[in-house]
Amino acid sequence: MTNANAEQIEYWNGPGGERFARHQQFIDYGLGLITDAALEKAAPVQGAVALDIGCGCADTTIRLREMVGEHGAVMGVDVSQPMLRIARARAHSAGLEIRFAEADAATFNFQPVFDLVFSRFGVMFFADPVAAFANIHRALKPEGRLFFVCWRAADENAWSAIPFEAAREFLPPMEKGDPDAPGPYAFADGGRVGRILEQAGFHDVRVEKLDSVMRMGSSLDAAAENALSLGPVARASSGADEKTLTVVRERIRAALAQYETPDGIAAPAACWLASAAR
């Protein structure tokens, strides 16, 4: 365990990691369209060797393994034991050979064997992002490339902001911290993302907007329940009594009604697609 990232590692091996592991199916479903866009951008080729940073429960790792084909290889890295247990089981069930490592990508001793480094929302949690990306830079072959997707600002992400605003008056106040501190929205500033990558040694850095949707559930009831299970409402409402949760659930349900479609609830999601060459 590295001292710099110890707090994040503890979180992802405690309630945070357990919660994400429990909701793995919803996360994969909710992020599906974003995942498709990010993998299309990364475009791994047959026979490539790919690294998935912050692989979680292996949704993207498995997708990458299928895309690189029988002559390719994929490694998934994450700090979370709860999610890696699911990742290994899913890969085994799919009959796919994938190497997983419980490790901190900021300090892991990577060998320069990867054609592609990819991440879906797994690189915003480093205490020292420049040092972390410098280490990731060393994992790439000379012609290798980095691709990742991360969130833009919280207020641009209705899937998260709308439920939180609907519930805010019923929940304890949340302290405003450093916007650049490790967390989901640490890379909200696209200019900062580009500077971090350049300082870490990458070139041909591109940070482009991706406007998509988060699929929040098949119904308003499901969407409200999912909002209470993950994201800022889940963190703020932990410990709330059932009466408060009932009111919050109804407020969220009403607030999300504007995003109801024939296929379920789909709220705006604002991301950055970042790419860079070694």
CATH of the domain at 67: 3.40.50.150
SS3 84: helix
Average pLDDT over residues 77-83: 97
Q: Is residue 223 part of a domain?
A: no
C-alpha–C-alpha distance, residues 118 and 158, integer Å? 25
pLDDT at 243: 87
Q: Is residue 243 part of a domain?
A: no
Name the residue among 158, 145, 137, 141 with its Cα closest to residue 215: 158
Q: Is residue 219 part of a domain?
A: no
Is residue 197 pLDDT above 80, yes or no? yes
Total domains, the chain: 1
Q: What is the pLDDT of residues 215-260, one digit of tens each?
A: 999 999 999 999 988 877 877 666 677 888 898 899 999 999 999 9
Q: In which residue are the tokens 């899937």 written? A: 159
Domain ranges, residue 130: 6-153+179-213+271-277
Average model confidence (pLDDT) across the chain: 93
Q: What is the pLDDT of residues 63-79, one digit of tens each?
A: 999 999 999 999 999 99
User: For the whole model, what pTM was predicted?
Assistant: 0.92
Is residue 5 pLDDT above 90, yes or no? no
In this structure, are strands 114-120 and 49-53 parallel, antiparallel, or unpaired?
A: parallel
> Mean pLDDT lowest for which of 93-107, 156-170, 238-252?
238-252
Q: What is the pLDDT of residues 173-196, one digit of tens each?
A: 766 778 889 999 999 999 999 999
Q: Is residue 16 part of a domain?
A: yes
User: Alpha carbon of 96 to those of 57, 78, 100: distances in Å?
Assistant: 14, 18, 12
pLDDT at 22: 93
At residue 169 the predicted structure's pLDDT band, cuts being 50, 70 and 90, is confident
Name the residue among 208, 209, 228, 232 with its Cα closest to residue 220: 228
Q: What is the pLDDT of residues 8-60, one digit of tens each?
A: 899 899 988 899 999 999 999 999 999 999 999 999 999 999 999 999 999 99
Q: Is residue 45 part of a domain?
A: yes
Average pLDDT over residues 113-140: 98
Q: Is residue 145 part of a domain?
A: yes
Is residue 2 pLDDT above 60, yes or no? no
Is residue 3 pLDDT above 80, yes or no? no
Q: Is residue 257 part of a domain?
A: no
Q: Is residue 76 part of a domain?
A: yes
pLDDT at 1: 39
